[in-house]
Structure 1
Amino acid sequence: MDDYYATTPGPELAEPYLREVLDSAGLAVEYVRAQGNTLYQRTDDGELPVADFAGGYGSVLLGHNHPAIVARAKELLDGGTPVHAQFSRHPYANRLAAELNRIIHRELCTDEPYYAVFANSGAEAVEAAIKHAELDRGMRVAELLERTAARRSSVRAAVADGTATVPDTVLSTLGVTARPDSAAERFALAEEEIERRARELTARPPMFLSLEGGFHGKLAASVQLTHNEGYRLPFAALAAQARFVPQDRPDILKEIHAEERGVLPEPAVVDGQVTLVEREFPVFCAFLLEPVQGEGGIRELSAEFAREIQEFCAAIDCPVVVDEIQSGMGRTGTLLASSPLGLRGDYYTLAKTLGGGIAKTSVMLVRRTWYRKEFEIVHSSTFAKDSFSCHIALKVLELLEADDGAAYRRAEERGEALRSMLTRLHTDFPDVVADVRGRGLMLGLEFRDQSESASAEIRQAAQGGLFGYVLAGHLLRRHRVRTFPTASAVNTLRFEPSVEVDDTQIAQLETGLRDVCALLRAQDGAALGSA
């Protein structure tokens, strides 16, 4: 039956427009097998090996169908491991959370625990972080309102028994124009304005901060924190709203804070007079960032800007959510790409390689300082935290940590070999290649803008946002190399192979890229689009 569906023509009912785009770029091929850093394409003559530099958008750091992971999966399935055992003990999930904590504590030089909330995909882990941060913000708002209400009551009693007066400055500060003689009436007017402001502040939606170029998923809330307007604006009315911060612009952080901050006046009695104290209202819910932006063009966060963001967020009591979905799990040489930057997240999200290229799993980690136990009741997922995915993730961590972290070192070494090749290309084709970026096995090659190309084919592809896909199609057709552009920076090709990528495949990629660069230099659009 599978062969029937694979070979029998029929209407394209699964994402037909996307299939049309892939067809036009020459990327709509079928892969029937995968092993290591190679995918096998179905052709009329059988299977054709393709060097995989896309790596499942970073999901297969250890390679496709790693033998130890496959063996563990078979063992679990043959043993009838339970997938659906909700509302019971999950010792395997606890072991996985403990192992993640052990590695994170080593990288961050801390012993404060992170509590784990499991999910099924990276975007779901981000959604869980957003929800948890908003639950925490809402509880902090409630605590602030309760505290200020108690203090107002205390001040009201002092005014009533004549031990405190209400000067004109209190009313003028609040914008109250009336000046009754009675201190009680004066304070009643002040309270009325304070309550109005509290209602106004409470009704405001949470404000998220995110970096320009950032990508955090395409679900209802996470897409609003994704900078790409094409993904975000059609759903702008649905969920969370964000302010986007340019890279390496700490001055913008201060401007945003000044524009968005909320202040709740709180009365106090000083020397027999009522005065007002400004209390910062929790407007900012979370700051989301990627230590290496994937879809934004493989752009690294600088250590200096990371420090400035951390200090800013600490000052305004706003948690930092570090999205390690694409950059984490050893891809850049450490479990967390953010740890070498000195950045300490209040939340982390991990996915992709966590499932070993087989299990669909992710995790959101919350630092104990920020954790709210109430979240365990209001958030859940049918398929999350199951035995199969947790055991596969444990095997992945075991493989990463084996031989004193040999896999991390391999990612660094293979990444350096790949980067050296891309740098040579940049040197040889400076008129075509604009930049080489990234770290470890998460690298990007940015091409110069071709929207004014002398070639109609190249110019149209660039103006239509398909330039990177045309390059990827040429690499696949002519050189049997698989890669893609980054979604929000389509002039940048991404390279996220597994640690199994060898020198032969890097040389294969170099041959293909030199061909692409030569065709762009010659403005030969016809050859670039041909098989």
Structure 2
Amino acid sequence: MQFDQAGAQALMEITSRPELVFVRGQGSWLEDHQGKRYLDFMQGWAVNCLGHCPQPVVEAITRQASTLLNPSPAFYNQPSMDLARRLTQASCFDRVFFANSGAEANEGAIKLARKWGQLKRGGAYKIITFEHSFHGRTLATMSASGKPGWDTIFAPQVDGFPKAKLNDLDSVRALIDDQTVAIMLEPVQGESGVIPVTAEFMRELRELTHANNMLLIVDEVQTGVGRTGAMFAYQHFGVEPDIMTLAKGIGGGVPLAALCAREEVSVFKHGDQGGTYNGNPLMAAAGLAVFDTIAAPGFLDSVNARAEQLSKGLIRLSDKHGMEGERGLGMLRALKLGRDIGPALVKAAINRAPEGLLLNAPRPNLLRFMPALNVSADEIELMLSWLDELIAQAD
């Protein structure tokens, strides 16, 4: 099969892509248009939490597609109600609004916090976020993000998102004024290099928001639904946020996101929030299959076992090659390379023969690992052995 150059030219140019087309996937493996296989430790940036084409999701979508696709969000449908109930029963939240992407869920969280500020805090609207954070690509979520350079791409930004330093409570306190309504953060900053929040800092933020009658919002787009070894990352810290956003893994590969909130914060009036495809039964059915798989007895125990294996393996590589260690939480981890060889390693990995390896370097000096949560022990060891060879060649 030849590469379709005309088809590639028809797509809008928004990123640099290699001239290969993935045509099928199963579990931790992808296959391109020429039959080459790749061990995938990106999984669509933590989207495919059960790997490629997981049987429970495929069966759920097939079943639902033959009965009902989208009756409109103006009506109830059973899969969305079932999934909302699963999420509330497994968390500290009472209400769920389904969306299609993490950016959309975070946009909803911002709107909900501001609406709560109008009703409960005399119009307070500012949301403190953090340097190097990533909350999405809408205008508001880009403004909320602390990604360097994003303040000028589509200027002017949306007002009201002062930036603090992660794990530095004094920097947060310094930004609070009478217009501050919430603090919003990722339990692990993924795009900035897999930087976890400390348990002490998360607890201090909860105390700070309580003391100042503000909301605590956790963006769990990347960390939620089993990625960190708990169903939700906030559960590691012994706190209960007011709002949580989910996406990526909750759909297991399909466009699904969720905005979750406690009852007293769920202040939207009819017409304040909506969306043509939101909570449609096809996507909700996929989400149900994902949730029930991850919630099954023993699944998260296996995730934690594999996470420990991956962490120890990355530490061995770091020690062997004189690097700077690893960090992360659960199955969201980074290898600190100590030098700017990340992009070169990503390119060498995908070009590896006879089988390739898919890696991600969100920063030039580190690699990020987001494998399927059900990746096997043998697949982790295979990745580590291939990466060992690639690093040796880069040196």
- Which residue of 2 is the match for residue 36 of structure 1? 27
Contact 2:115 2:268 (C-alpha < 8 Å) held by counterparts:
no
1:422 has 2:314 as partner: yes
Measured in 1, the distance between the counterparts of 2:159 and 2:138 equals 11
Q: Match for 1:90 among 77, 93, 104?
A: 77
In structure 1, how many angstroms separate the alpha carbons of the residues matched to 2:14 and 2:79?
Answer: 41
Contact 2:217 2:242 in 1 (8 A): yes
The 5-angstrom pairing of residues 215-364 of structure 1 reads 215-257=134-176, 261-262=177-178, 283-357=179-253, 359-364=254-259
Match of 1:497 among 366, 371, 382: 371
1:484 matched to which residue of 2? 360
| Offset at residue 352 of structure 1 (A) | 1.1
User: Structure 1, residues 404-449: CA drift from partner, whole Å, max 9, x if none?
Assistant: 2x2211211111111111010111122xx22301122111112113
Kindly tell me: are residues 292 and 8 of structure 1, through their superposed partners in 2, closer, same or farther at Cα, counting changes over 3 Å?
closer
AA aligned to 1:139 is L
Structure 1 residues 517 and 62, CA gap change in structure 2 (3 angstroms): same
Kindly, what percent of the aligned residue pairs are identical?
A: 25
Q: 1:507: Cα distance to partner?
A: 2.8
Q: Report the Cα distance in structure 2 between the residues aligned to 1:224 and 1:308, rounded to whole angstroms.
A: 25
Pairing 1:118–2:98 present:
yes
Secondary structure of the corresponding residue to residue 319 of structure 2 = helix
- How far apart are 1:123 and its partner, in Å? 0.6
CA deviation after TM superposition for structure 1 residue 515, in Å:
2.7
> Match of 2:299?
407
Unaligned 5+ segments in structure 1 are 106-112, 145-201, 263-282, 451-466, 522-531
1:138 aligns with: 118
Asked if the contact 1:426–1:435 (Cα under 8 Å) also holds between the matched residues in 2, the reply is yes
CA contact (8 A) 1:481 1:508 kept: no
2:347 maps to 1:473? yes
Match for residue 52 of structure 2?
64
State the 1:474 CA deviation: 0.6
**CA–CA distance in 1 between the matches of 2:134 and 2:27?**
27
Alignment-derived partner of residue 173 in structure 1: none
Contact 1:355-1:389 at 8 Å conserved across structures: yes
Q: Offset of 1:11 from its aligned partner?
A: 6.5
Give 2:41's match in structure 1, choosing from 16, 29, 53: 53
SS of corresponding position for 1:233? helix
Question: What is the rounded CA distance, in whole Å, between the counterparts of 1:238 and 1:500 in structure 2?
Answer: 40
The one-letter code matched in structure 1 to 2:192 is G
CA distance in 1, matches of 2:78, 2:59: 21
- Give the match for residue 127 of structure 1: 107
Show CA shifts across 1:80-133 (max 9, x none): x1313231223332221111111115xxxxxxx421111100110000000111
2:113·2:125 contact (CA, 8 Å) conserved in 1? no
* Displacement after TM superposition at 1:347 (Å): 0.3
- The answer to whether the Cα contact below 8 Å between 1:130 and 1:286 also exists between their aligned partners in 2 is no
Q: CA deviation at 1:15?
A: 3.4
Q: TM-score, normalised by structure 1?
A: 0.70
> For 1:85 and 1:329, how far apart are their aligned partners in 2?
26
- Alpha-carbon displacement from aligned partner over 1:212-232 (angstroms, at most 9, x marks no partner): 221111111011111112333
Cα deviations across residues 139-192 of structure 1 (Å, max 9, x unaligned)?
Answer: 235xx4xxxxxxxxxxxxxxxxxxxxxxxxxxxxxxxxxxxxxxxxxxxxxxxx
The one of 12, 17, 37 equivalent to 1:15 is: 12
Deviation at 1:236, TM superposition (A): 4.0
Give the corresponding residue for 1:395.
Answer: 289
For residues 194-221 of structure 1, the C-alpha deviation after alignment (integer angstroms, 9 at most, x for no partner) is xxxxxxxx6xx83221122211111110
Which residue in 1 is equivalent to 2:273?
379
Amino acid at match of 1:423: I
Partners of 2:8 and 2:230 lie apart in 1 by: 45
CA contact (8 A) 2:128 2:175 kept: no
Deviation at 1:477, TM superposition (A): 0.7
Q: CA deviation at 1:10?
A: 5.9
TM-score w.r.t. length of structure 2: 0.93
By how many angstroms is 1:256 displaced?
1.9
Counterpart residue type for residue 512 of structure 1: W
**Amino acid aligned to 2:43:** G
Two-structure CA RMSD over aligned residues (Å): 2.0
Report how far residue 517 of structure 1 moved: 2.6
In 1: Cα distance, 2:104 partner to 2:293 partner: 25
Which one of the candidate residues 484, 506, 531 is aligned to 2:380? 506
Verify the 8 A CA contact 1:208 1:240 in the aligned structure 2.
no
Alpha-carbon offset, residue 372 of structure 1: 0.5
Shift of 1:31: 0.8
Is the 1:206–1:240 contact (alpha carbons within 8 Å) kept by the matching residues of 2? Answer: no
Partner AA of 1:64 in structure 2: H
Query: Following the alignment from structure 1 to structure 2, what is the Cα–Cα distance between the partners of residues 129 and 437?
Result: 28
Query: What is the one-letter code of the residue matched to 1:119?
Result: A
Partner of 1:439: 329
1:77 aligns to 2:68 (yes or no): no
Q: How many pairs does the alignment contain?
A: 393
Q: Which amino acid aligns with 1:133?
A: A
Deviation (angstroms), 1:289: 0.7
Structure 1 pair 230–302 and aligned structure 2 pair: CA distance change class (3 A) = same
Higher-Rg member (1/2): 1
Q: Are positions 1:212 and 2:88 aligned together?
A: no
Secondary structure of 1:32's partner? strand
Task: Pick the structure with more helix per residue.
Answer: 1
Q: Secondary structure at the match of 2:286?
A: helix
**Rounded Cα–Cα distance in structure 2 between residues aligned with 1:384 and 1:240:** 27
